[in-house]
Amino acid sequence: MPKLNKFLNYSLSLFSVIFFLLILNSCKKGEDQIITPGEEISWKEQESGVTNNLKGIYFLNSFTGFVCGNSFPNDTNKLLKTTDSGTNWSRIPVNITNSSLYSIYFVNNSEGYACGTAALIIKTTDGGTNWFQQSNTDSYVLYDIKFFNNLTGIACGTGGTILKTENGGNQWGNINTFSQGTFYCIYVFPNGKSYISGDNGNIFYSDNFGSNWAEQNSNTATVLKSIQFTDQNTGYCCGQTGIILKTSNSGKNWILLNSPVEEELSSLYFTNNETGYFTGNYGRIYKTVDGGKSFLGSNTSSSNFLRKIYFSESEIGWAIGEQGTILFTNSAGE
């Protein structure tokens, strides 16, 4: 009997120890589950060194890129360049006063173009070190410029303006679209297909390098600020009141997607058919990974209005905006 009592006492003690260890371990697991790491900023602000409103961006690769913007408050700050992914930005003098730049585009590592107010078009042939004027003949504003190849390009702007060059910008001719509304954004394919979006829900399409244009039915009268295609069939468009449109048949039909906001979406950039980013007010950036079926908000360190977004690779991107704002991610905004 004493042996039995001794065995029971030993078993009880062993059970108590095991039970205590189990309780301790479960508490530790519970603590691990509720402890979360500190919130990380997925878009980090870069020091631009200027307070100008930045409106255009283009990168030659993941290291070398350009941003452009307003002439005010300092006219020499309208064009910036980086060669280290934006860790450092330097000012590039442009000997044209009282003009703002809205868009910049390079056809190769040496030749690039920028456009802006007063129908201004400037060109560089040495990788952005020096710029010279090509066009400055009217009072309209040019909001975007794109090239199909080294010689053929188009620019768009106020008053239904579309300009075209076939000789690298030596001459620019006006293309009639029969529209008086402003065009804000261009997307081009090397094969000559191109799209333009703008006021009154306007989306125009060309299949001959911008020589002739046909209007597509967007089913909206909302201002459309940005347009991009991810392949010959799939395209996206966004604009005021948070509108987001999508086509899966080259723009023959545009459908309205459920937007994450009701405020203006100023720019979009897709890195593949499913993954895209949208910029807006208060430093907000929205991301979709399922072709616009759902959206996630990205955390940024800025509250300024963001005007353009650009990715050089699927994970490396920049967003620019007012007050010299430049935001950077090397983790796809996550």
pLDDT in tens, 212-222: 999 999 999 99
Reduced to 3 states (helix: H, G, I; strand: E, B; else coil), residue 95 is coil
Give the CATH number of the domain where residue 151 resides.
2.130.10.10
pLDDT in tens, 178-231: 888 999 999 999 999 999 999 999 999 999 999 999 999 999 999 999 999 999
Residues 328/317, Cβ–Cβ less than 8 Å: yes
Region 42-64: what's the mean pLDDT? 95
> Which tokens in the block code for residue 239?
């604009």
pTM for the model: 0.86
pLDDT at 334: 86
Helix H or strand E encompassing 94: none
Q: How many Cβ atoms are within 10 Å of 296's Cβ, its own excluded? A: 12
> Which tokens in the block code for residue 254?
């545009």
The answer to whether position 20 is within a domain reads no
Query: Strand pairing partners for 151?
Result: none
Select from 225, 217, 222 the least CA-distant residue to 253.
217
The answer to whether position 2 is within a domain reads no
Select from 298, 306, 300, 299 the least CA-distant residue to 323.
306
Q: Is the bond leading into 2 cis (omega within 30 degrees of zero)?
A: no
Dihedral angle over CA of 330, 100, 244, 211, nearest 10: -110
Give the β-pairing of 44-46 and 54-59.
unpaired
Distance from C-alpha of 24 to C-alpha of 167, rounded to nearest angstrom: 77
35 phi/psi in degrees, rounded to 5: -85, 120
The answer to whether position 138 is within a domain reads yes
Query: Strand pairing partners for 43?
Result: 300
Region 220-244: what's the mean pLDDT? 98
pLDDT in tens, 75-121: 667 999 999 999 999 999 888 877 899 999 999 999 999 999 988 99
Query: Strand pairing partners for 173?
Result: 164
**Domain membership of residue 303 as a residue range:** 44-329
Distance from C-alpha of 121 to C-alpha of 162, rounded to nearest angstrom: 13
The answer to whether position 266 is within a domain reads yes
pLDDT surpasses 60 at 3: no
The answer to whether position 309 is within a domain reads yes
Residues 105/58, Cβ–Cβ less than 8 Å: yes
> Which tokens in the block code for residue 215?
């209007």
Residues 59/319, Cβ–Cβ less than 8 Å: no
Longest dimension (CA), the chain: 112
Helix H or strand E encompassing 183: strand 183-188
Amino acid at site 37: P
The answer to whether position 302 is within a domain reads yes
Q: Is the bond leading into 73 cis (omega within 30 degrees of zero)?
A: yes
Select from 40, 62, 45 the least CA-distant residue to 334.
40
pLDDT surpasses 80 at 32: no
Residues 68/96, Cβ–Cβ less than 8 Å: no
Distance from C-alpha of 122 to C-alpha of 226, rounded to nearest angstrom: 22
The answer to whether position 9 is within a domain reads no
Question: How big is the chain by its Cα radius of gyration, in Å?
Answer: 27
pLDDT at 10: 44
pLDDT in tens, 108-132: 999 999 999 988 999 999 999 999 9
Give the count of domains, the chain.
Answer: 1
Distance from C-alpha of 219 to C-alpha of 200, rounded to nearest angstrom: 10
Cβ neighbors of 198 (< 8 A, separation 6 or more) are 156, 179, 181, 182, 183, 184, 185, 223, 224
Distance from C-alpha of 223 to C-alpha of 238, rounded to nearest angstrom: 8
pLDDT surpasses 50 at 135: yes
Tell me the percentage of the chain whose pLDDT exceeds 90.
Answer: 76
pLDDT at 301: 87
The answer to whether position 334 is within a domain reads no
